[in-house]
Structure 1
Amino acid sequence: MTHQPAVAFVLASVFLDALGIGIIIPVLPRLVGTLAGSPELQTVWYGAIMVSYGLMQFFSAPVIGAISDRIGRRPVLLAGIAGLGIMMIAPAVCDSLWLILLSRILAGTMSSNIVVAQAYIADVTPAGDRTAAFGRIGAIFGIAFILGPALGGLLGESDPRMPFFFASAICVLNFLYGFFVLPESLSAPSQTPITFKRINPFAALASLSKEKLVLPLLFVVMLYTLSQSLMQCTWALYTEFRYGWTPASIGFSIFALGCSITLVQGVLLSKLAARFSPRRLVLGGLVCGILSFACIGLSPIAAPAAVAVCAVSLMGIVGPTLQGVISRTGSPYTQGVRLGAMSSINSFTGAVSPLIGTPLLFFTSTFSPDALAAGTPYFLCALIVLIAFILTIRFPLPEN
């Protein structure tokens, strides 16, 4: 039986954490630029901060998940929220790029807390309802994706440090809320010892890959998240180059995408999950992704691309569906480490996608916006999703 008050808190916690992270998105490049002294150094430092943040999420997710399996979700969730609040303060008060880099590395560790939130949801939600529940987490991120950058842009208009103070305050309030409201979800924590062999991301993924059903799903997850990460890291510069969009146009498109994600994962997914099998949901979502990315790549004008980027949100039914399937295949006492391994894939693709997307943008910038080659980044996204689709056909998901 689902514990509604606990689920409500966890969703509120995810929202506040995501909002706090979203608030700093518009101002972090500017803050780095004011300290770096030149555009070239700004690019290097900002790239280092973004890649290190993603890599720390990759390495930390299974560790955080395993610890929550062992000692319970509540203390790990609260410790992560508190730590993230502390790490948000550093960029607001220091003038050292090295300290800011260190704070973002530690923040990457703390932000792996989303794994604990997912495990908590799995603990208190019946197996058949988990796909919709994980979809609600995605919808919460969509809302934060809408509000966070907009609020951060307003707060940072005069001072790029102000959003960091605000984000830290949000984390503190979130911690206090959880400290007095959140119950523990694990009635009997795991007795399995926490060892390096068990919790490092490579071992966690290798352990999951030994399961006949899960191995192909991990490849699908990796390809699906890689296509999303490539879109996220290229969209702003791609639309500026090909369509001449201004920051306001780019911001509006991101706002529309966030609204679409919220609608798909928060409203549509639960209805689809009640009607269709996981296999059909994943295949349908991947087809939507292939068509949407191909449309963006083929379109030399902005309007179809703007519609297509919102349609990409329909591919968002894939992630929660796969999470639900993998969650149901494991023991209640291993939800943290299993979902942590999946989250590591997410973080890894987020870290490597700028290394792929940046050269692609340099390449496409040499072509006319009307040239077919100008759409290369999104043709690659479509190809990646097509491979995921073929894998899903070759290694079918369960029909129920």
Structure 2
Amino acid sequence: MFQRPGKAAFAFILVTVALDMLALGVMIPVLPKLIVEFEGGDLKSAAVATGVFGFAWALMQFLFQPVLGALSDRFGRRPVVLLSNLGMGLDYVFMALAPSLSFLFVGRLISGVTAASVSTATAYIADITEPEKRAGRFGMIGAAFGVGFILGPALGGVLGNHDLRYPFWAAAALSLLNAAYGYFILPESLAPEKRAGAVLWRSANVLGSLDFLRRDRSLALLAVAIFLSYLAHESLPSLFVLYTEYRYHWDAETTGWALAIVGVSQTVVSGGLVRPAVKRFGERATLVVALAAGALGFAAYAFAPTGGIFMAAPPLIALWAMANPAFQGLATRFASASEQGRLQGALSSLRGVSGMVGPLFFTQILSLSIGAGGFPGAGYFVAALLLAASLFVARSAVSAAVADPASV
């Protein structure tokens, strides 16, 4: 007889996400350096290759998030999560041994596929959590992301100082240990009677997945709001280093400490504020506050005349971290138990699109806005406008849902 997983299963999923993000973060400081090494020290060629690597990884995420989500609806969450962890571990071994840039590129493509299990982990939480408590737990997932991306680059930098291949071996070990631990500990979360009768390949491809979001007007509007928020987020990794170097003349050490402060702030909010905020104010009010705070934070980034004033904005940006759990909590109300995987896969596809478009979009804005008479903060100002638009659309989505309660 099927038994609903308890708190230990939720803890394992948190650990799974944290280790996945840690493994990805470990490679952040060394992957570009390894590409430079393969390009014979040619920084110009390496920069082009690094951009292609980033786009290709996001493309794989975009294509395969819906597939893994649909497979988890049919066969359960456990096998998809475990196979993904195993695949990531083996792929990191492949990348550690890569003898050329082309082999490393193939490994990065595989990494994009296997790392697409986050949507399944999110669906797992939706399976084992009451609807009114999901936003709080999704906030804990955000905290797990933050922990991984705070510790990962630091560990990768230390190991990379000894050998550029060591971080890949560390990532492989983390993923394989995660798979082994989950094999013995992680129970299934989706009861057999709640599983899809067959893999719905129409919704397991990108277009079908996005079409899934169009089936309800409120869900479609909510998806638009989520995408605008995702796109605004891409301004952070795309602009932060270049913008602060150009405008405030920060060196690498200063930038590193600043990023650590941003990461810690977001982790504190995701892990400590989301649950009480949603419990007291509800998902809708929490979402409004989060998006408004994010918009104000980006506006502060855009107009801050000094680096000190610039660093007063991260707390506002951190409050924006409450938006995604609230978005997720609202979105799960539009899908049945057998559709949570497809829903999360579809939402992750939106993140994949933003991950491909955002870096090119924001770096081009920066390139056009710097120089004599330019406004170097234009990219962050556009991000603020995107969050303002997201807030407007999200309110419209909630209003439409209230007008048609049967849709929720």
Give the equivalent residue in structure 2 for 1:45.
Answer: 49
Shift of 1:300: 2.0
Q: Do the aligned partners of 2:70 and 2:200 also contact (CA within 8 Å) in 1?
A: no
Tell me if the contact between 1:2 and 1:125 (Cα under 8 Å) persists in the aligned partners.
no
The SS at the match of 1:380 is helix
What does residue 137 of structure 1 align with?
141
Pick the aligned partner of 2:32 from 14, 29, 32.
Answer: 29
Question: Higher mean Cα deviation, 308-317 or 8-17?
Answer: 308-317
How many angstroms apart in 2 are the aligned matches of 1:174 and 1:106?
A: 18
TM-score, structure 1 length as denominator? 0.96
Report the equivalent of 1:248. Answer: 253
Where do 1:1-400 residues align within 5 Å? Answer: 3-37=6-40, 38-188=42-192, 189-367=194-372, 373-396=375-398
DSSP 3-state at the match of 1:245: coil
* Cα shift readout 1:23-52 (whole Å, capped 9, x = no counterpart): 100111111111113122101111111001
Partner of residue 405, structure 2: none
In the TM superposition, residue 158 of structure 1 has moved relative to its aligned partner by 2.6
Q: Alignment length, in residue pairs?
A: 397
Q: Shift of residue 372 of structure 1?
A: 6.7
Structure 1 residues without counterparts, runs of 5 or longer: none
TM superposition shift of 1:91:
2.5
Contact (CA 8 Å) 1:293, 1:309: kept in 2 or not? Answer: no
Contact 2:295 2:387 in 1 (8 A): yes
Change (3 A) 1:29 1:186: same
- Cα pair 1:298 1:372 within 8 Å, conserved: no
Gaps of 5+ in 2: 403-407
Contact 2:24 2:152 in 1 (8 A): yes
- Could you tell me how far 1:313 is from its partner in structure 2? 1.4
Greater Cα offset, 183-192 or 9-18: 183-192
Contact 2:219 2:397 in 1 (8 A): no
Aligned residues with identical type, % of pairs? 35
> Could you tell me whether the CA contact under 8 Å between 1:76 and 1:116 is conserved in 2?
yes
Normalised to the residue count of structure 2, the TM-score between the two structures is 0.94
> 1:231, 1:381 within 8 Å by CA — same for their partners in 2?
no
Moved over 3 A (4+): 397-400
Partner-residue secondary structure (3-state), 2:329: helix
What secondary structure, in the 3-state scheme, does the structure 1 residue paired with 2:311 have?
A: helix
Residue deviations 1:152-182 (CA, integer Å, cap 9, x gap): 1111013211100111011111111101111
